[in-house]
């Protein structure tokens, strides 16, 4: 098993920090071909599109001045970090965006490439790369209008570094969208015990409660790294109908929209990214 | 690398866990027929509508005019040739439809209703429905004297739809003289080798691919059969005779008349102040007789059917009268004056025709990448004047869900939103089809108990505004 994924996982750029969490990778390796079964292991992620795509779409539309409702995200460059099989990349591309999807697991990228290949419109608009976030920072400084990191930050080793890297590849006043899980007693009971062990909504072992991120912590990290948090919304999954909805309460799942400050104001402790920062930007997205 | 690809696909071919919610997928024939990996030259459409009748054309036009479909590719397949509707003949066509206000709203949502109005149509304000075996009747009319519905020739509707399709020709490609002879269904979505799209083979050998196939190909739907969707169907022992009639004298012809004879209902639908359309559902033998007889006898039969009281019995008349006086005590406004239908003077030569009647209902309206609308999904007796309105209702519902799906960037063929369409429409259609079927059976008898039941039922319904309003809003 171990030797198998030495072949498939690219070695991290810098060995000083563990970049991609290898344990995390192993979990997703086994399910790499299950992404596109809408009623299979990833069913909850498929139905999450029903709220996360409108959330991203409407937020971007409200900040834009000219758009066409037939292709609302036309001209927008999006980076989908931890894209997995491309579940979120494809709808965003259908809405007109140019999407770059990255994931450290090659099998995921293969599945994603394979799935988009049948649709010429998607094949053109989406580029997938087997890569960690840090590996694309150098060549992608301030390249993207939007970054989405959906169900990713709870798998990441060093969250602050992850956010710093996001800031570097994002254009000034670009948007960052994150969805993740709060670290509460409720999220342990419902998110791990019920969701994984009892109901099998999420494949067992996918999540570790210790790595869940409270919104206060996420907000703090974002604000101290040049972002301005605009929206925090709670999300709720109804296992009976298999559907998601918004709610006030953020004790379980939640979504965040943050905007990178304009060219003038970098409110982080370091102004320009240093050499060590780039090399240390090794807390890449795990898989999601 | 291809070796890695093969390995990955090898894993993918391990059968997935069976899901409790999985519905039976169509086509064990899927990998056997046609190319399993689509040639790149086969054009890929977002939506293909099979069947270019009123419902299929309206579906294609509705999507073509939808803002969220601006960048999508739609195709409409029609087996017949393109008809030019530039000049409406002076004489009326014998195929007409009763269009409900809801259907008119749908047609105006993509600009077709204006064309209909500029051609010709006849609004009606009132509907009188009564029994041949008793005095019972029911009158429908809206309080505000608004139009209850419109009688429109099918050719007029097709002309309007063709115009609106031409207006979005950059988005909607209409293939005339193109009959689909075979469909190849995709395997479940998580398999990776074969094409995920529906493959369509046309009679002339051309092939198309689509993300969503909409079957609007009538009650003998090929799409439904090929998708192996079970259809509950029943041939009635009746045929409908249609004709264009001229009235004895010009009148404010804004009432639709229907009388339930024991052999079947006869309806007179207004076309103009001097002309009406006949829809007479009766036994096959009687229908053939009506077609064969000379014009004068035909006209006499019609007038007799509407005016004669030969089927009344004293018993029923007395019982009915008693009930009516009871109602008028309790609810003075609950009995209405029976109007007399206009008398017919002559029939348009060549306008007599007949077609057999039946009912049908598909057990499923949707499958992965397939949806049925119109008569392909449900077929109903004309006595309720609902047939095409059900189809237009299907279109309004499906277009709404597809529009939302497109705006969410969803895969258009996904069962998730298709099932929402199915649930909404089945809920609506099943009760109406069942009620129509029940009415047809109830009114096909002379047996006193049943006549009494329906007499009292009709009289009671006429006296109860809430029930009447609900019926007319359907």
- Summarize pLDDT for A119-169 with one digit per residue, the tens: 999 999 999 999 999 999 989 899 999 999 999 999 888 899 999 999 999
pLDDT one-digit tens code per residue, B267-297: 999 999 999 999 999 999 999 999 999 999 9
Per-residue confidence at B227, pLDDT binned at 50, 70, 90? very high
Using alpha carbons only, give the angle B85, B89, B90 rounded to the nearest 5 degrees: 150
Least confident of A51-60, B135-144, B186-195, B392-401: B135-144
Residue B30: inside a domain, yes or no?
A: no
CATH superfamily of A22-63+71-182+210-260: Vaccinia Virus protein VP39 (3.40.50.150)
Quote the pLDDT of residue B318: 74
Report how many domains make up chain B.
1
If we measure between CA atoms, which residue out of B280, B322, B310, B311 comes closest to residue B298? B280
Per-residue confidence at B17, pLDDT binned at 50, 70, 90? very low
Taking any CB pair shorter than 8 Å as contact, residues of chain B touching chain A are: 4-5, 8, 11-12, 16-17, 19, 21-22, 38, 44, 67-71, 188-190, 192, 195-197, 406-411, 414-416
Per-residue confidence at B40, pLDDT binned at 50, 70, 90? low
Per-residue confidence at A29, pLDDT binned at 50, 70, 90? confident
Please compute the mean of the pLDDT values over residues A175-199 and round it to a whole number. Answer: 90
The mean pLDDT of chain A is 85
Q: Reduce the DSSP state of residue B306 to 3 states and report it.
A: helix
Nearest-CA distance A51 → chain B (Å): 9
Contact A217, A192 (CB under 8 A): no
Q: Which residues of B touch A36 (CB under 8 A)?
A: 189-190
Please compute the mean of the pLDDT values over residues B340-364 and round it to a whole number. Answer: 92
Yes or no, beta carbons of B44 and A111 under 8 Å apart: no
Per residue, what are the HEC states of chain A? Answer: CHHHHHHHECCCCCCCCCCCCHHHHHHHHCCCCCCCCCCCCCHHHHHHHHHHHHHHHHHHHHCCCCCCCCCCCCCCEEEEECCCCCCCHHHHHHCCCEEEEEECEHHHHHHHHHHHCCCHHHHHHEEEEECCHHHHHHHHCCCEEEEEEECCHHHCCCHHHHHHHHHHHEEEEEEEEEEEECCCHHHHHHHHHHHHHHCCCCCCCCCCHHHCCCHHHHHHHHHCCCEEEEEEEEEEEECCCCEEEEECCCCCEEEEEEEECCCCCCCCCCCCCCHHHHHHCCCCCCCC
- Chain A, window 35-64: residues with a beta carbon less than 8 angstroms from a chain B beta carbon: 35-40, 47, 49-50, 53-54, 57
Q: Of B210 and A32, which is predicted with more confidence?
A: B210
Q: pLDDT at residue B51 above 80?
A: yes
Quote the pLDDT of residue A215: 95
Yes or no, beta carbons of A37 and B190 under 8 Å apart: yes
Contact B268, B278 (CB under 8 A): yes
Least confident of A101-115, B340-354, B429-443: B429-443
Domain that holds residue B309: 44-473
Q: pLDDT at residue A16 above 80?
A: no
Q: pLDDT at residue A285 above 50?
A: no
Q: pLDDT at residue B1 above 60?
A: no
Quote the pLDDT of residue B412: 97
Quote the pLDDT of residue B335: 55
Residue B269: inside a domain, yes or no?
A: yes
Yes or no, beta carbons of A70 and B67 under 8 Å apart: yes
Per-residue confidence at A249, pLDDT binned at 50, 70, 90? very high
Quote the pLDDT of residue A63: 93
Q: pLDDT at residue A242 above 80?
A: yes
Q: Could you say which of B11, B69, B189 has the minimum Cβ distance to residue A37?
A: B189
Residue B6: inside a domain, yes or no?
A: no
- A-B interface: how many C-beta pairs under 8 angstroms? 80
- The pTM (predicted TM-score) of the whole model is 0.85
Quote the pLDDT of residue B39: 53
Q: Which residues of B touch A118 (CB under 8 A)?
A: 38, 195-197
Yes or no, beta carbons of A50 and B408 under 8 Å apart: yes
Quote the pLDDT of residue B435: 80
Residue B279: inside a domain, yes or no?
A: yes
Q: Which residues of B touch A33 (CB under 8 A)?
A: 8, 11-12, 190, 192
Q: Which residues of A touch B12 (CB under 8 A)?
A: 33
Q: Which residues of B touch A70 (CB under 8 A)?
A: 67-71
Residue B146: inside a domain, yes or no?
A: yes
Residue B453: inside a domain, yes or no?
A: yes
Q: Could you say which of B67, B196, B414 has the minimum Cβ distance to residue A118?
A: B196
Residue from A118, A120, A146, A150 to probe the interface with B (highest B Cβ count within 10 Å): A118
Q: Of A24 and B357, which is predicted with more confidence?
A: B357
Per DSSP, what are the bridge partners of residue A146? Answer: A78, A175
Q: Does A114 touch chain B (CB under 8 A)?
A: yes
Residue B38: inside a domain, yes or no?
A: no
pLDDT one-digit tens code per residue, B296-347: 999 999 999 988 877 676 767 777 777 777 777 766 655 556 677 889 999 9
Residue of B nearest to A106 (CA): B4
Percent of chain B scoring above 90 in pLDDT: 58
Q: Of A223 and B40, which is predicted with more confidence?
A: A223
Residue B19: inside a domain, yes or no?
A: no
Per-residue confidence at B143, pLDDT binned at 50, 70, 90? low
Please compute the mean of the pLDDT values over residues B96-113 and round it to a whole number. Answer: 96
Q: Reduce the DSSP state of residue A92 to 3 states and report it.
A: helix
What six digits make up the tokens of B247?
């009235």
Q: Could you say which of A38, A70, A95 has the minimum Cβ distance to residue B409?
A: A95
Global ipTM: 0.83
Q: Does A70 touch chain B (CB under 8 A)?
A: yes
Per-residue confidence at A30, pLDDT binned at 50, 70, 90? confident
Nearest-CA distance B205 → chain A (Å): 22
């Amino acid at each position: 098993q171990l030797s198998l994924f030495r072949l498939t996982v690219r070695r991290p750029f810098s060995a000083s920090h563990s970049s991609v969490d290898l344990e995390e990778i192993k979990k997703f390796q086994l399910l790499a071909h299950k992404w596109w079964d809408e009623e299979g292991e990833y069913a909850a992620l498929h139905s999450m599109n029903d709220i996360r795509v409108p959330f991203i779409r409407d937020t971007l539309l409200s900040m834009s001045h000219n758009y066409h409702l037939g292709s609302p995200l036309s001209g927008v460059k999006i980076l989908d970090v931890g894209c997995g099989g491309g579940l979120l990349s494809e709808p965003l591309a259908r809405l007109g965006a140019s999407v770059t999807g990255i994931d450290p697991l090659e099998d995921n990228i293969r599945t994603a490439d394979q799935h988009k290949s049948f649709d010429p419109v998607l094949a053109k608009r989406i580029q997938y790369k087997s890569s960690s976030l840090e590996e694309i920072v150098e060549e992608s400084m301030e390249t993207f209008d939007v970054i989405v990191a959906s169900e990713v930050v709870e798998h990441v080793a060093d969250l602050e570094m992850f956010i710093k890297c996001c800031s570097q590849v994002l254009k000034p006043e670009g948007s960052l969208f994150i969805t993740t899980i709060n670290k509460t007693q409720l999220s342990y009971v419902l998110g791990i015990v019920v969701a994984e062990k009892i109901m099998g909504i999420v494949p067992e072992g996918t999540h570790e409660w210790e790595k869940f991120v409270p919104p206060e912590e996420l907000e703090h990290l974002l604000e101290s790294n040049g972002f301005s948090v605009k929206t925090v919304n709670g999300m709720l999954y109804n296992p009976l109908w298999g559907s998601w909805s918004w709610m006030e309460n953020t004790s379980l799942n939640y979504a965040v929209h943050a905007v990178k400050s304009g060219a003038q104001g970098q409110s982080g402790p370091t102004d320009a990214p240093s050499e060590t920062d780039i090399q240390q930007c090794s807390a890449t997205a795990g898989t999601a | 690398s291809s070796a890695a690809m093969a390995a990955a696909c090898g894993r993918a071919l391990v059968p997935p866990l069976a899901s409790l919610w999985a519905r039976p997928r169509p086509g064990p024939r899927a990998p056997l027929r046609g190319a399993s990996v689509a040639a790149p030259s086969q054009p890929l459409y977002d939506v293909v509508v099979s069947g270019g009748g009123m419902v299929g054309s309206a579906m294609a036009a509705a999507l073509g005019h939808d803002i969220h479909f601006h960048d999508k590719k739609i195709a409409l397949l029609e087996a017949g040739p393109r008809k030019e509707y530039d000049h409406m003949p002076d004489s009326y066509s014998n195929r007409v439809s009763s269009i409900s206000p809801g259907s008119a709203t749908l047609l105006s949502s993509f600009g077709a209703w204006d064309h209909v109005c500029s051609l010709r149509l006849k609004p009606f304000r009132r509907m009188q429905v009564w029994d041949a075996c008793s005095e019972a009747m029911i009158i429908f009319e809206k309080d505000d004297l608004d139009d209850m519905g419109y009688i429109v020739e099918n050719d007029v509707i097709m002309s309007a739809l063709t115009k609106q399709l031409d207006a979005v020709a950059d988005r909607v490609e209409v293939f005339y003289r193109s009959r689909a002879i075979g469909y190849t269904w995709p395997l479940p979505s998580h398999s990776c080798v074969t094409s995920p799209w529906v493959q369509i083979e046309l009679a002339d050998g051309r092939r198309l691919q689509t993300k969503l196939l909409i079957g609007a190909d009538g009650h003998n739907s090929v799409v439904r059969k090929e998708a192996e969707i079970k259809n509950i169907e029943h041939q009635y022992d009746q045929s409908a005779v249609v004709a264009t009639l001229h009235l004895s004298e010009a009148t404010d012809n804004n009432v639709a008349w229907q009388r339930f004879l024991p052999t079947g209902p006869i309806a007179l639908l207004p076309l103009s102040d001097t002309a009406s359309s006949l829809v007479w559902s009766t036994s096959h033998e009687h229908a053939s007789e009506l077609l064969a007889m000379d014009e004068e006898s035909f006209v006499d039969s019609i007038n007799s059917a509407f005016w004669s009281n030969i089927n009344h019995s004293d018993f029923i008349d007395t019982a009915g009268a008693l009930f009516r006086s009871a109602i008028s005590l309790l609810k003075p406004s609950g009995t209405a004056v029976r109007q007399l239908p206009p008398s017919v003077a002559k029939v348009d030569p060549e306008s007599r025709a007949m077609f057999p009647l039946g009912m049908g209902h598909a057990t499923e309206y949707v499958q992965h990448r397939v949806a049925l609308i119109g008569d392909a999904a449900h077929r109903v007796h004309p006595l309720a004047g609902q047939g095409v309105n059900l189809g237009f209702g299907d279109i309004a519902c499906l277009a709404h869900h597809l529009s939302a799906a497109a705006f969410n960037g969803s895969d258009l063929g996904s069962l998730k939103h298709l099932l929402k369409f199915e649930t909404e429409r089945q809920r609506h259609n099943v009760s109406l089809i069942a009620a129509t079927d029940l009415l047809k059976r109830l009114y096909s008898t002379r047996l006193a108990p049943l006549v009494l039941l329906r007499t009292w039922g009709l009289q009671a319904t006429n006296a109860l505004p809430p029930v009447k309003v609900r019926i007319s809003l359907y």
